Chains A and B, each alone.
Chain A
Amino acid sequence: MRTDDTTPGRRRLLAGWGRANPTAATVRDVEPDELAAAVKDLPARGGIARGLGRSYGDPAQNAGGHVLRLAPANDHVAIDDDAGTVTAGGGVGIDDLLAILVPRGWFVPVTPGTRFVTIGGAIASDIHGKNHHREGSFGNHVTRLRLMLADGTVVDLAPEPAPGNDHELFWATVGGMGLTGVIVDATFRLIPIETSRMSVETHRLGHLDDVMDRMVESDADFRYSVAWIDLLARGKHLGRGVLTNGEHAVPDQLSPTAASDPLAYDGRQLVAVPPVVPPTGVINRLSVTAFNEVWYRRARTGRHVGVESIPAYFHPLDLVGGWNRVYGRSGFLQYQFVVPFGAEAVLRTVIERISAARLPIFLTVLKRFGAGNRGPLSFPMGGWTLAIDVATDRSGLAPLLRSLDDLVLGAGGRHYLTKDFHMTPADVRRGYPRLDEWRAVRDRVDPGGAWASDLSRRLELTD
């Protein structure tokens, strides 16, 4: 019989990266060899694994239950240079991994906009990066993973159907938000690189049609592609933006100094946001208008080619420690959705509505996804994805997001569970029509409901 655990002092408040709505759970730091004992000890409200806490919303919170933090165990990294793969523990961060991989001429197959993501989190969220249009999401590159189930047993899983392999469970775990079990370790394919620099082509584009046209034209020519959009621009400038296309640079593209150590890698933070920020934050229309103008003008008109470091190109926000504090006390959420190709008019309407709402939004990302994978809860699908960060205390935000949800879901699109913090159970069922298929697998491996999170309760993913 599982019991309540309200022992004073054991509970801690936890929030996602967006810092909205903290809830209290018992946090347990577990070494890999203690994991089975921790799983057997889960209380009535269950447990969920938590990595580095970079999910914006509530998937790594479990109010009233246990939150398991798997020790990073960096010694649990084995590179197979011949096969071009690495095996890493679920608690190992991409940050730590890059420090090991890059000097040896390897790069992770997929990285999101932050390095502070664990391998377990990367699989549970089936993260995507700027190369999705070519190479898909993280799950596409995993060749095997080991998963600890609710009864404490560990199963070895691979993506393809084979005797003795539960490939359905593999794909339910990819994008499964940690609700099928704890990822003990995983093996995945790497990208060979000759240098630690990126060759980046930047285009400043005056309005949305230009941005989208250019993205369509250039996608096939570049491994990495992403656009930033100025969502405060209006009228004929609506949707103006900066498109950056990138490739891993070859030694010939480096300066003589850089070429002497082509695989040098340094991911240190440059500055940190001080712990004291006004309760209202420092993100307002004035500051964001100024930022957007500078960011837009910084990109030179026309095409510009340059060389950037891996952190500068992939993880610019990581260079500023604790940047999530700038939104103030009530926190922020990231609204990320995808609409299928053919729904460009819907994307435009969404951008028009956000622009008309005059929200101070400086972080916006527009990308094109390639085809999705077999994970029933994996977010990416062929289409356009837009992500915006927005402070939660804006009046009128709830009705605005509801109206955008209706457009997105009506167009056959969906929202990213890792970022979501506002949807309803009905929205998820519209966006993820294969939810029942996922639930069948999950019920098979966790009939007692040992795995639970604030996200799973809020969206009724598991009951």
Chain B
Amino acid sequence: MQNALDEAQTIVLLGGTSEIGRAIVDELVSSSTRTLVLACRRPDEAGAERFARDGLNVVVEPFDAAATETHEGFARRLAAEHGDLDVVVLAFGVLGEQTEFDDDPGAAAAAVHVNYTGGVAASLAFAGVMRRQGHGRLVVLSSVAGERVRAANFVYGSSKAGLDAFAQGLGDSLAGTGVQVTVVRPGFVHSRMTRGMKSAPFSTTPRVVAELTVAGMRKGKHTVWTPGILRYVFSVLRHVPRPIFRRLPLG
């Protein structure tokens, strides 16, 4: 159970190697936290020692976002083994190369499957556990790339657009159940995922995303833009005519 200061006792990170996800966990872990589950495709890369602390049980679990048929059983097993799940952060996802997707529809479908289908299945599985336990916080990592999809990464952007819309609807459907969904829309984040890429305007870091995410969760916000100014930037970009939008230097 969370305490009055929004300190979680049990935290689950889906996408246990995600830099943004781990930065969010850094913000969430407190002296009240008893269990941290790092769920990832390659458990040997989980780096659990980074979170090691007296009194904190760090558990590494194999989790494949693409294996959607396993998600419900996985969520139920974690709840059975660790008790109530206070916060679940859904941070897995693949960016991919748009140029490769252009030539390989199968690879594009696989990326969309992880980002969207996997996100849907995992969110519903954990939302089900939380609804039954009567409380919980689900954090879904979306992206501004889904807010208005650009030619430079439209496969990734469309998958995040789908996930974002799904998570908003899920949050509404859970009103009154004690479960809160927070959708996070980061802009360009300097991380391993974007290494070597040209930085976009208003770029940010995993740490800033994490701080704003946790502050937003604690205020009960449904949507968190990181940095916050992107909310206003995109309220304009959303309405820019396409011939102009596709010429904008957006990284």
Show the binding face of A for B, using Cβ within 8 Å: 4, 6, 11-13, 18, 20-25, 45, 57-58, 62-65, 329-331, 333, 392-393, 397-398, 401-402, 421-426, 454, 457-458
Q: How far is the CB of B1 from chain A (nearest CB, A)?
A: 4
CB contact between A422 and one of B3, B131, B177, B218 (< 8 Å): that residue: B3
Q: How far is the CB of B198 from chain A (nearest CB, A)?
A: 36
Q: Which residues in window 128-145 of B have CB below 8 A to A?
A: 131-135
Chain A residues, Cβ within 8 Å of B55: 426
The answer to whether A64 touches B4 (Cβ under 8 A) is: no
> A21 contacts B132, CB within 8 Å?
no
Pair A13/B132 contact, Cβ less than 8 Å: no
A422 to B1, Cβ gap below 8 A? no
Partner pick for B5 among A64, A392, A425, A454, CB 8 A cutoff: A392
The count of chain B contact residues (Cβ–Cβ below 8 Å) is 27
With both chains docked as a complex, state the minimum distance between the C-beta of A392 and any C-beta of chain B, in angstroms: 5
Q: What is the total of A-B residue contacts with beta carbons within 8 Å?
A: 85
User: Taking the complex as formed, is B6 at the interface, i.e. its CB lies under 8 A from any CB of chain A?
Assistant: yes
Besides A63-B1, A422-B4, 8 other A-B contacts (C-beta < 8 A): A6-B132, A11-B134, A21-B135, A23-B135, A45-B134, A57-B4, A401-B5, A422-B32
Contacts of B84 in A (CB 8 A): 63, 457
Q: A24-B135, A402-B31, A457-B84 are in contact. Are A423 and B218 (CB under 8 A)?
A: no
Q: Is A24 touching B220 in the complex (CB atoms < 8 A)?
A: no
Residue of A with least CB distance to B215: A395
Contact across chains for A424 and B218 when beta carbons are under 8 A apart:
no
Chain B residues near A (Cβ < 8 Å): 1-7, 9, 30-32, 34, 55, 83-84, 131-135, 176-179, 218-220
Tell me if B4 and A333 are in contact (CB < 8 A). Answer: yes
Which of B1, B34, B131 has the most chain A CB atoms closer than 10 A to its own CB?
A: B1
Report the separation of the CA atoms of residues A393 and B177 in the bound assembly, to the nearest whole angstrom.
Answer: 23
A-B interface, 4 closest residue pairs, ranked by CB to CB distance from nearest: A63-B134, A64-B134, A421-B4, A24-B178
Task: With CB as the reference atom, state the residue of chain A lying closest to B131.
Answer: A6
Residues in chain A near residue B34, CB distance under 8 A: 425
Residues of A with C-beta under 8 A to B177? 11, 24
| B133 and chain A: residue at smallest CB distance | A64
Contact B176–A63 (Cβ < 8 Å)? no
Q: Which of B4, B32, B179, B218 has the most CB of A within 10 A?
A: B4
B7 with A422: CB separation less than 8 A: yes
18 contacts between A and B (CB under 8 A): A11-B134, A21-B2, A23-B1, A45-B134, A57-B4, A62-B134, A63-B1, A63-B133, A64-B132, A64-B134, A331-B4, A392-B6, A393-B219, A398-B31, A422-B3, A422-B32, A425-B34, A454-B135
